[in-house]
Amino acid sequence: MVSTGIPLDIAVIISTALEGILYGFSIFLFVCTMLTSTYKRDANRPIALVAILLLILSTAHIVMDIIRLEDGFVKYRDTFPGGPAAFFQDISQPTFLAKNILYAFQTMIGDGVLIYRCHVVWQSIWVIVLPSLLWFSASAASFTAPYYASKSTGGDIYTNQAGRWVAALFVLTLLTNLLTSGLLAYRIWTIERRVSAMRTINSTLMPIVRILVDAAIMYSAVLFVMLVCFLCSNNAQYIIQDAIMPIVPIAFYMVFIRITLRNTTLDHLWIVYGAGSDGMERNLQRYPTQPSQYHKSQWAHSDNCSHGAANEAFRAEH
């Protein structure tokens, strides 16, 4: 199938420029995340580890894109048969393989974080069985595609066997994101309904649902557009795929920052990387009429979303 849309050499220039802009924004959010996670000592280590891994992968990817850009337009401009457009179409190039392997690792980490959040919130291994199967399948597809691409002797990604694995990867990643985000939102919503009638403090978890749904919609929309472009053999999919590299850490950073800025209490942070929801729900039920004596907790702010009793009970039990 012949590729359509903008010429591939122009698509590479646009994708690198767009990725650079988004990468700069992700750096800013990374700094904010590190500062915020440092403030919250209990959430520091896992958040810092994932944030640093995402930063390393996105940095390596944009560096690889710059090298690939220089190779196509400068180093091999006059020596590669067909010129820059043919160079960027060659999926067996080491730079192409390297950047797609980086994308595979980024996808594994991003989807793995979503699955971990599901396990934390549901406190059940059975809930994450299907998402985990999708994750393993997507991981296999993400590393199989570069293998077949490395064996390519001609043609673009759309006509090569690697293209089938790429399409499978996009579909599996989209399904994983939709499923895990839906499970998260549903669980938090049910917890909110269950405890709302038992507490006297003015608090709600619905803003957390909106934050998670916002991130899921952003990531899912980008994945869907990329999948459609790929199935239509449109070169715009290269632009979107490169943009996803900084979008994944941006979504990760924004979820944590928005939750922390809205409420710095521990019972909201467990949604990102904390204890199970059963403990939080149990604490809210155990202390429904005693919020005032805990309002000066070092973890709580005296605002409309304070859960002082739940925080102190959480700390006492863990």
pLDDT given for residue 274 in this prediction: 47
- Among 260, 178, 183, which residue's Cα sits nearest to residue 218? 178
Res 203 pLDDT > 50: yes
pLDDT tens digits for range 239-284? 999 999 999 999 888 888 887 776 544 444 444 544 444 444 444 4
Indicate whether 142 pLDDT > 50.
yes
- The tens digit of pLDDT for each residue in 42-91 reads 555 777 888 899 999 999 999 999 999 999 999 888 888 888 888 888 88
Percent of the chain with pLDDT over 70: 75
Q: What are 96-128's pLDDT values in tens digits?
A: 999 999 999 999 998 998 898 888 888 888 999
Give the pLDDT band (50/70/90) at residue 184. confident
Write the CA distances from 125 to 121, 179, 318, integer angstroms: 11, 15, 21
The segment with the largest mean pLDDT, out of 2-11, 47-56, 169-178, 183-192, is: 169-178
A 10 A CB-CB count for 116 gives 16
d(CA 253, CA 5) in angstroms, rounded, equals 33
- Residue 204: the pLDDT is 61
pLDDT-based confidence at residue 34 (cuts at 50, 70, 90): confident
159 pLDDT tier (thresholds 50, 70, 90): confident
pLDDT at 153: 74
What tokens does 302 get?
A: 């005296």
pLDDT reported for residue 121: 82
Mean residue pLDDT of the chain comes to 78
pLDDT higher at 101 or 285: 101
Structure tokens at 289: 């009429």
Mean pLDDT of 156-162: 81
Asked if 58 contacts 25 with a C-beta cutoff of 8 angstroms, the reply is no
3-state secondary structure of 202: coil
| pLDDT of 312 above 80 | no
8 A C-beta contact, residue 264 and residue 299: yes
Phi/psi for 303 (5° steps) reads -130, -170
In this prediction, residue 144 carries a pLDDT of: 92
d(Cα 170, Cα 228) in Å, to the nearest integer? Answer: 10
Give the residue-averaged pLDDT of 126-133.
93
| Residue 294: pLDDT over 50 | no
Of residues 40 and 239, the one with the higher pLDDT is 239
